[in-house]
């Protein structure tokens, strides 16, 4: 059983909960996720099964797309609604859509982001959230991220009674981006406290939310003896790579971990997918120093 399940992670579950349940459903230990989703976030969580666990890291580094909401006028220590309210500023005059668009635009491209205290980033051997739960604030180093776009997806709404305003957004971003921190930084640009009040991941690892299956659907497929209904094959998970069809002689070389001449890929792509008899067998990476492709990920079983 090799492939990727594009799981729809429901709210209230951790990513590790999903892994544990899938191991029991599929009766296999070779299960790995491609990056975690917070318990209060739902959406796409690609899960690698069998040989596909070898590409977990590759899928993890792919871009991600989220849709959600930012509420202006209040701030929480966790940067989402799971934490404690730490600041409130009544909004007497709503921020205009033009001002919102300008602030969102300032958070696009290559930017530096400081990880939130409520995160799993390790400092001195301990996760930041462990310090945060003790009421401690630790110095954190900002890290580079890339934001492809950050835009409104429908008009902002203003709550006259609560004196808050909600912005509805979609963001395309790189691995390592904390969207709740983007929400807080967005508020800072406007001079207002803010919090990420809703979030759904709609794309990750090359899969979008329309391709996902719930845990209950995976269980139903297994019970019906039709796992292929929810399991995306390696060929689909690796569709972004140029494909070279191996003949018998080159398959013999690859099956022994040998190198291949770069002539197999006229475009000299950095990574090429090697198929033999309609099955994905390997990813090979171009080594420019020797002018050959060498093993990168092997799926020989």
In sequence order, the 6+-apart residues with CB closer than 8 A to the CB of 1 are 26, 28, 49, 50, 227, 231
Q: Which helix (H) or strand (E) holds 287?
A: strand 279-287
CB atoms within 10 A of CB 273: 24
- Distance, CA of 289 to chain centre: 33
What gap in Å lies between CA 220 and CA 224, rounded to an integer? 6
42 is catalytic: no
Choice among 2, 38, 42, 80 that is catalytic: 38
Alpha helices in the chain (DSSP H): 15-26, 56-60, 97-105, 128-132, 179-190, 215-223, 234-237, 248-255
Residue 96 burial (10 A CB sphere; 0-12, 13-18, 19+): exposed
Residue 48: closest CA among 10, 16, 19, 74? 19
Which residues are the active-site residues? 38
């Amino acid at each position: 059983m090799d492939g990727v399940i594009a799981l729809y992670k429901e709210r209230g579950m951790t990513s590790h909960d999903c892994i544990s349940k899938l191991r029991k459903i599929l009766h296999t230990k070779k299960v790995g996720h491609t990056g975690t989703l917070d318990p209060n976030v739902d959406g796409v969580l690609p899960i690698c099964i069998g040989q596909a666990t070898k590409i977990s890291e590759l899928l993890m580094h792919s871009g991600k797309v989220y849709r959600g909401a930012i509420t202006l006028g209040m701030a929480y220590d966790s940067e989402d609604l799971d934490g404690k309210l730490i600041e409130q500023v009544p909004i007497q005059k709503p921020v205009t859509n033009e001002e919102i668009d300008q602030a969102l635009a300032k958070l696009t491209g290559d930017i530096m982001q400081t990880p939130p205290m409520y995160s799993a980033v390790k400092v001195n051997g301990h996760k930041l959230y462990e310090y945060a739960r003790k009421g401690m604030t630790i110095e954190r180093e900002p890290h580079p991220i890339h934001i492809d776009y950050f835009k409104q997806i429908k008009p902002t709404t203003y709550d006259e009674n609560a004196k808050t305003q909600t912005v509805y957004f979609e963001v395309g971003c790189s691995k390592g981006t904390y969207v709740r921190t983007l929400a807080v930084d967005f508020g800072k640009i406007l001079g207002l406290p803010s919090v990420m009040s809703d979030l759904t991941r709609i794309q990750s690892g090359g899969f979008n939310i329309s391709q996902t299956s719930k845990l209950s659907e995976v269980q139903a497929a297994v019970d019906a003896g039709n796992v292929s209904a929810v399991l995306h094959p390696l060929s689909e998970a690796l569709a972004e790579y140029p494909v070279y069809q191996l003949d018998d002689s080159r398959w013999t070389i690859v099956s022994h971990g040998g190198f291949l001449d770069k002539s197999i890929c006229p475009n000299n792509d950095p990574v090429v997918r090697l198929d033999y008899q309609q099955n994905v067998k390997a990813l090979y990476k171009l080594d420019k120093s020797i002018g050959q492709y060498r093993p990168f990920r092997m799926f020989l079983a």
